Amino acid sequence: MPFDKFTYRNYAKSLLESSNLKKIDFCEIRFQEDLIENIYFKNLNLENIYNLESKGFSVRVLLNGNWGFSSSNIITKVSILEAFSKAVNMVVGLPKGRVTLTTEDIYKDEDIQSVIINPFDTPISEKIQYIKSIQNDLLKYKNIDFSDASLVQVFEKKLYLNSSGSDIYQERTRIYPHFMLYKTIPELTTLKLNTRPVGEGYEYFKNYPFQEEIPKAAENIYEKSKAKSVKEGKYNLLIDPSNLWLTIHESIGHSTEMDRVLLYEANYAGSSFATVSGMGDLVYGSDKVNIVGDRNQKNGLASIKYDDEGVKTTQFDIIKNGVLENLQTNREIASISGMNHSNGCSFADSYSSFPLQRMPNVSLLPNESKDLKLGDMLNIMNDGIYILGDGSWSIDMQRYNFQFTGNIFYEVKSGKIIGMIKDLAYQSNTQDFWKSCIEIGGKSTYSLEGAFNCGKGQPSQVAPVSHGAPISLFENIKVLNTKNEN
């Protein structure tokens, strides 16, 4: 059955306009459908095509400061009333809880993300042939022994109503083509193509410049396999946005989630070194560092007009000239911290998920005064390492100590790239790292990267999010040799 928003709206209204609502302080209902299609290739063998349709609703009620939540995949007038009763029964009789909500504007609106080609309108056979042709082009090179390819496409519909009168319908599309290359002789070398997950339609994949990138990738994987192993020590690092996005995500994105600051995730995802009182005060990095949260950014994976509490999303400063300005909020945690409004960072990953405070697109702003390009940045660095692409990542429970690898590492001497090195991980502490940021590249080096699968919450949820950055320069960062670590 299709996602019938007119019928669902009527079901929701019959609950929201009923006398049941007198039992509780606030209620919201969210209907959600996610259409997902995954295609996997291993070399030229089509391993799997998986189509998934997930559809249902949830009811969340607030009673005496406690949240009760119930969800079901059966959408009928009766099941909605049942879910409401279950949600109320979860919390009725509990001592007064901590939850209060900020007062927010009421919206009645529809927002449909415009994409050029909806991925679900493109025939599967066409996608298969296209991926196969890319695989063929890759496997022509003798240095590429294996290529694992996947294409993940998501079309998300959400209808949100609450007891204050908001009524919002939204549609979002995202896509992630992914190619991992392997050279296995003399030992395993891996290389990722530069495709990234984006909040766009099928056109992103169709227009991607594979013909330019594939010959370079074949050369790169050969050079990487022959590269010398890095000597551990302290280095200047020039980091490309294709690597820096993940460092921003882990060290700044997560540490500035106010629910983590308030210990909501202490049993699981962890907390943060940041504090509510640190807003306007806590030094996160050098004065070159300006970070914004933005759910309106074009093609951003977290971009949407209204969040999952019906709050209109916005752009806001997270770090300004190196100092913490704002934390990310939803209605509950904004209210607990004495703020007047949420900045629209609520998200639930499916109809059955309890909405959590999740990250907006969190991005490092480019240098406003000089449009420094790669060559300029290499010259400023003089000696050091230039890092491209993401690899492994890990950060501690309070977002201090982190360790990242990458896809490609170049040794740089006197402002010139002299060759590839390998087996490298950089290890630092969030504030030390961002304080060592000595130069930021210009607008022309800015790029938006991201992930489909940021994890948080119990039961755990995943969220898509983008991060933009220019090329940026950090001095004196600890570099490990991962072979010596074993």
Chain positions 451 to 480 lying near Zn ion, rule: CB under 5 A, are 454
Whole-number minimum distance, CB 439 to another protein, in Å? 26
CA distances (Å), 59 to each of 8, 28, 87, 212, 345, in order? Answer: 13, 6, 7, 49, 19
Please identify the residue of the shown chain whose CB is closest to the bound Zn ion. 454
Per-residue DSSP letter, 69 = E
CA distance 307 to 294: 12
Number of residues that bind another protein (CB under 8 A): 85
Number of residues that bind Zn ion (CB under 5 A): 1
Whole-number minimum distance, CB 46 to another protein, in Å? 5
Going residue by residue from 406 to 445, which x/- string records binding to another protein, judged by CB under 8 A? Answer: -----------------x-x-x-x----------------
How would DSSP label each residue in 178-238? EEEEEE-SSS-EEEE-S---BSS-THHHHT--HHHHHHHHHHHHHHHHHPEEPPPEEEEEE
454 binds, among Zn ion, another protein, none (CB under 5 to 8 A by kind): Zn ion
- Of residues 130 through 149, those in contact with another protein by CB under 8 A are 132, 145-146
Check if the beta carbon of residue 105 is closer than 8 Å to that of residue 85. Answer: no
CA distance 236 to 474: 6
85 binds, among Zn ion, another protein, none (CB under 5 to 8 A by kind): none
**Residue whose CB is less far from another protein, 47 or 121:** 47
**Exposure letters 56-67 (e unless 16+ CB within 10 A, then b):** bbbbbbbbeebb
87 binds another protein (CB under 8 A): yes
Residues, the chain: 486
Residues whose CB falls within 8 Å of the CB of residue 480, separated by 6 or more in sequence, listed in order: 232, 403, 424, 425, 426, 427
91 binds another protein (CB under 8 A): yes
Per-residue DSSP letter, 278 = G
Paired residues of 181 in beta bridges: 147, 191
**Residue whose CB is less far from Zn ion, 272 or 335:** 272
Residues whose CB falls within 8 Å of the CB of residue 43, separated by 6 or more in sequence, listed in order: 135, 139, 146, 147
**Residue whose CB is less far from Zn ion, 115 or 454:** 454
**Residue whose CB is less far from Zn ion, 265 or 439:** 265
Of 168-176, 319-327, 389-397, 406-414, the window that binds another protein (rule: CB under 8 A) is: 389-397
Per-residue DSSP letter, 328 = B
- Of residues 8 through 47, those in contact with another protein by CB under 8 A are 40, 42, 45-47
CA distance 138 to 37: 23
- Of residues 97 through 126, those in contact with another protein by CB under 8 A are 97-99, 123-125
Going residue by residue from 341 to 380, which x/- string records binding to another protein, judged by CB under 8 A? Answer: -----------x-x--------------------------
- Of residues 43 through 82, those in contact with another protein by CB under 8 A are 45-56, 58, 66-74
167 binds another protein (CB under 8 A): no
Whole-number minimum distance, CB 199 to another protein, in Å? 24
452 binds, among another protein, Zn ion, none (CB under 5 to 8 A by kind): none
| Residues at the site binding Zn ion, with contacts judged by CB under 5 A | 454
